[in-house]
Amino acid sequence: MNLVIDVGNTSIKLGIFDDNLIIHKETLRPQNFLGIIKRIKKDYSLIKRGILSSVSNMDEENVAVVKDLFNTLILDHTVKMPFTNLYATPTTLGVDRLALVAGAVHQFPERDVLIIDAGTCITYDFKNKQEEYLGGAISPGLTLRYTSLNNFTSKLPLLNLEFPKNHIGDTTNQAIHSGVVNGVLYEIDGAIDEYCNTYPDLTVILTGGDAHFLSKRLKNSIFATSNFLLEGLNHILAFNNSQ
């Protein structure tokens, strides 16, 4: 069994894998991390290895405990990947994006794949049929766009995510919902169309916290999955253990 830990900007996701099958998953806040890790050690004694990916500054004590309890691989740009990384600045590439590409290599080998992760930020990552990672794009996510409108203006309210009633907003609230939600949908569909112009057999993966909200409203055909990043981390761990 493997323990997979994804430390994001707002929460921590844990997954326990039996080979390639995820058998347990949970999302937690950083302040609950140590207690839950110790419980997992007790409840899942067959866990032999772990991998930890963090895009935020995780407390060093927490990292030390994980390494002490499990044989843990800390993901960074020096870890071997199951693909060729052609990113011009590999040391600045987020480890979460590495994991997403690894998941694409594992689940869709020898195919052109665009992975869209809709979370705090929306990231676009592309790997080709030759298993080469070329790069992608980063833009603000839904919540970040709502928050920015409130933070950087004097009168616009902070709203919760809501699908607009019409693309023409007839109130300020509806105008914000239309601008934020439809803006993201237009962006994603436009990005997919642009990639398809060059890669007509493109496979598109949509994942992340806002994937479910967005998936049914996109005009392009996609695969929506909530576990893709965890599965990618598990594949990186398996790949490194096989070297």
Residue 9, marked binder: yes
Task: Measure the CA–CA gap between 131 and 141, rounded to whole angstroms.
Answer: 27
Task: Measure the CA–CA gap between 182 and 164, rounded to whole angstroms.
Answer: 8
Residue 240, marked binder: no
Residue 49, marked binder: no
Is residue 9 within 8 A of residue 29, CB to CB? The reply is no
Residue 12, marked binder: yes
Candidate list 18, 96, 170, 210, residue with the active-site label = 96
Q: Any catalytic annotation for residue 125?
A: no
Q: Where are the beta strands (DSSP E) in 161-237?
A: 203-207, 223-224
- What residues contact 12, with CB distance under 8 A and at least 6 apart? 5, 6, 27, 28, 29, 30, 33
Identify the DSSP state of 32.
Answer: G
Residue 166, marked binder: no
Residue 205, marked binder: no
Task: Measure the CA–CA gap between 203 and 221, rounded to whole angstroms.
Answer: 9
Residue 234, marked binder: no
Residue 133, marked binder: no
| Cα dihedral 32/52/103/84 (nearest 10) | 150
Residue 183, marked binder: no
Specify binding-site residues for K(+).
Answer: 117
Catalytic residue annotation:
96
Specify binding-site residues for substrate.
Answer: 87, 94-97, 172
Specify binding-site residues for ATP.
Answer: 6-13, 120
Specify binding-site residues.
Answer: 6-13, 87, 94-97, 117, 120, 172
